Structure 1
Amino acid sequence: MKKTSLIPKLEIYKKEFFEILKLITQPRIISDQKKYKTLLNKYTKLEKIVSLYEEYKKKLALFKEINFILENDSDPEMKEFASTEKYKISDNLSSIEKELSNLFFALKENNTEEEEDDRNGAIVEIRSGTGGDEACLFVEDILRMYTMYFKKSSWKYKIIHAQKGGIKGYKEIILDINGKKGVYGNLKFESGVHRVQRVPETESQGRVHTSAITVAVFPKVKDIEVNINLSDIKKDTFRSSGSGGQHVNKTESAVRLTHIPSKITVECQEERSQHKNFEKAISVLRSRIYQNEKEKRLRKISVKRKSLVSTGDRSVKIRTYNYPRNRVTDHRIHKSIYNLTGFMNGNIQEMIDFLKSFEKK
């Protein structure tokens, strides 16, 4: 039992609680929905801490009285009663301290923002890397793996943009995923370089080749969370190169948006309507700008974090899919699963759960 060692920390949280209470009643805060939502979220968590703190102080006062009786009262019955009560109060204090510790963890730096993101949908971008046609084929394999996982999770997805490979597969594909459970909270661990080791279909000598693709996962964000000035966007239209019949190929329905300040470029050509393609492209652009800003903040505090498994660094090799050995290995947590066939059929939750556990350590 920590007793009074928690008091200074709890006093700081109590002070912050009443400061936030004043802020969330101010019109300027209420009108800023993003700030108001963040403050209200923290207020709710601090309210639980302050409530427990008041109970904690009462138990400490009782604990002090009991000790006084045990040290100064000469009545044996009173001492016996006090001794029994001391054990009860000590257990109560330990229980409160444990609950407070869990609440402190929930208030760690950036936790509120991360929790909000985890509940959101996601934008997933899969691109071929080294390996030519084999990398394009692997993009298609990973796409199939994810779509089977989405089905098992009862999530819905739409293809926003697709660029076919030279022979088969895809050079690039972008997906929009939505679901009731935390879509981004699970998929965020997929960001990075995925490496495959296998004998390519195009290889006549039967040699094992290594190819790589990159996966980028962004949380879907609302208009109020990322404000984009249309004057900062360069819009280009072009004819779609994808499937869709004569209409798609003969009209400039495909849209390319470039955010001038960040130089982020997004394309969408899956819809027949230029307007719908524009809306989808804006959604992806908003998510990518948001993620960029988030990654900048994460880099600043990275030295404080025990785990960086979900920071979304697309340059880091995160996983190897070894077909000859039927093995998939995640290099961030040094975890291997010897059922690559099942993994590629969408059974990836086990690995994601390991990554979640590792991040919380």
Structure 2
Amino acid sequence: MIDRLESIARRYREIDAEMARPEVATDHARLTKLAREQAGLREIVTTYERYRRAQHEMQSAHEMVRHEKDAEMQEFLRSEERRFAAQVGELEESLKVLLLPKDPNDDKDVVVEIQGAEGGEEAALFAADLFRMYQYSQLKFEGGVHRVQRVPKTEAQGRIHTSAATVSVMPEADPVEVDLKPEDYEIKTSTSTGPGGQSVNTTYSAIRITHRPTGIVVSIQDEKSQLQNKEKALRVLRARLYDMKLAEQQAAIGAQRRSMVGGGNRSEKIRTYNFKENRVTDHRIKLTMHKLDQIMAGDLDDLVSALIAAERASQLDGSDGL
């Protein structure tokens, strides 16, 4: 862990030096990229500096105890050593968490879709309850099937019904960008065919571009100028690559949504809400809380904290997460 922390600290200092260079200071795009990278490292670096200071103070106190003759002073130094040792332990745990890989979607806006699933009208009413609850809370862990057990407002006999609603939480999609590098495509020229006179059929103005990674081929001979045909062919190629990437992005979002909501069956539940017992059970971490009324009012802090702790623990032991 120390080697990795030293590497991060070195990179942080390198960014500082690079941002101070005049040519970087005038390059807004480069400066923004470096500032963003440095901001992502800052908390790790400052925590590591505190860790090193606490470790140094702990070792200094330990050495001073060995050479101190006064019993009262020895006891004071031992208490200082214990205090700094506790700080070292706490900061080490913080560093372990900070070094965990971050979810790249954590900082994005999200699109939340809530639908009534099994249970008809009662499922729709419960979906509305979930919507009100989520207006004030963190959403990352909420994708899945939510099961409810309660007496519906529409139930005249007082019987408990079991229904379900599905929640999908997806990060807002990044704008699709097409990075078309010259080394990724091959250009061939040829004479144009068709009407246009002798000069059209003897001038190498027709353009054929092959995109190597995808195999897409674009041929353009509309203009008399080779340069104009090339520019048009590249525009067409960019448009086709954009359509391809957009389709891939939409397919990935669709797959992510399907993995969250499944078939909407109660058996696929991630959480159960039992109104009669004022009980919530999160089946992923086997946590039961008897404060359903508070949770439905938006007080999800304890529940979300438990889910975050479980996810971090699973990352630390190398498992796949929740």
Equivalent AA in structure 1 for residue 303 of structure 2: F
Which residue in 1 is equivalent to 2:314?
none
Equivalent AA in structure 2 for residue 193 of structure 1: V
Equivalent AA in structure 1 for residue 5 of structure 2: Y
Count how many residue pairs are aligned between Structure 1 and Structure 2: 235
For the Cα contact (< 8 Å) 1:197–1:210, is it kept in 2? yes
State the 1:215 CA deviation: 0.1
Structure 2 residue 108 is matched with structure 1 residue 108:
no
State the 1:145 CA deviation: 4.1
Structure 2 residue 10 is matched with structure 1 residue 22:
no
Q: Which residue of the other structure, out of 52, 68, 74, is the alignment partner of 1:83?
A: 74
Which residue in 2 is equivalent to 1:187?
139
For the Cα contact (< 8 Å) 1:41–1:112, is it kept in 2? no
1:111-260 equivalent positions in 2, closer than 5 A: 111=102, 113=104, 117=107, 121-131=109-119, 133-134=120-121, 137-147=122-132, 150=135, 153=136, 183=137, 186-197=138-149, 210-220=162-172, 226-229=174-177, 231=239, 232-233=242-243, 259-260=246-247
CA distance 1:322–1:34, change in 2 (3 Å): farther
Q: Distance in 2 between matches of 1:42 and 1:22?
A: 12
Tell me, which stretches of 5 or more residues in structure 2 are unaligned? Answer: 179-238, 263-267, 311-322
1:338-357 equivalent positions in 2, closer than 5 A: 342=293, 346-350=296-300, 352-357=301-306
For the Cα contact (< 8 Å) 2:144–2:166, is it kept in 1? yes
Structure 2 residue 248 is matched with structure 1 residue 261:
yes
State the 1:193 CA deviation: 0.4
SS of structure 2 residue aligned to 1:190: coil
Which residue in 2 is equivalent to 1:49?
48
State the 1:356 CA deviation: 1.5
Tell me, which stretches of 5 or more residues in structure 1 are unaligned? Answer: 1-8, 71-77, 154-182, 235-257, 266-287, 296-311
State the 1:188 CA deviation: 2.0
Q: Distance in 1 between matches of 2:243 and 2:261?
A: 24
CA RMSD of aligned residues (A): 4.4
Structure 2 residue 312 is matched with structure 1 residue 360:
no
Equivalent AA in structure 1 for residue 273 of structure 2: Y
For the Cα contact (< 8 Å) 1:327–1:337, is it kept in 2? yes
Which residue in 2 is equivalent to 1:13?
5
CA distance 1:53–1:260, change in 2 (3 Å): same
Q: Distance in 2 between matches of 1:65 and 1:142?
A: 64
CA distance 1:43–1:88, change in 2 (3 Å): same
SS of structure 2 residue aligned to 1:109: coil
- Of stretches 93-102 and 78-87 in structure 1, the one that deviates more from structure 2 is 78-87
State the 1:88 CA deviation: 3.9
SS of structure 2 residue aligned to 1:262: helix
Which residue in 2 is equivalent to 1:37?
36
Q: Distance in 1 between matches of 2:150 and 2:81?
A: 61
CA distance 1:198–1:16, change in 2 (3 Å): closer
Which residue in 1 is equivalent to 2:273?
321
For the Cα contact (< 8 Å) 1:195–1:213, is it kept in 2? yes
Structure 1 stretches of 4+ moved >6 Å? 199-207
Q: Which residue of the other structure, out of 309, 314, 331, is the alignment partner of 2:283?
A: 331
State the 1:204 CA deviation: 9.5
State the 1:323 CA deviation: 5.4
CA distance 1:45–1:260, change in 2 (3 Å): same
Deviations 1:130-183 (A, max 9, x none): 44x34xx52343224432663xx4xxxxxxxxxxxxxxxxxxxxxxxxxxxxx5
For the Cα contact (< 8 Å) 1:29–1:36, is it kept in 2? no
Which residue in 2 is equivalent to 1:251?
none
SS of structure 2 residue aligned to 1:63: helix
Which residue in 2 is equivalent to 1:63?
62
1:295-306 equivalent positions in 2, closer than 5 A: none
Deviations 1:175-226 (A, max 9, x none): xxxxxxxx5xx222321101234577889998765443210123457xxxx3
For the Cα contact (< 8 Å) 2:110–2:172, is it kept in 1? yes
CA distance 1:143–1:39, change in 2 (3 Å): farther
For the Cα contact (< 8 Å) 2:149–2:160, is it kept in 1? yes
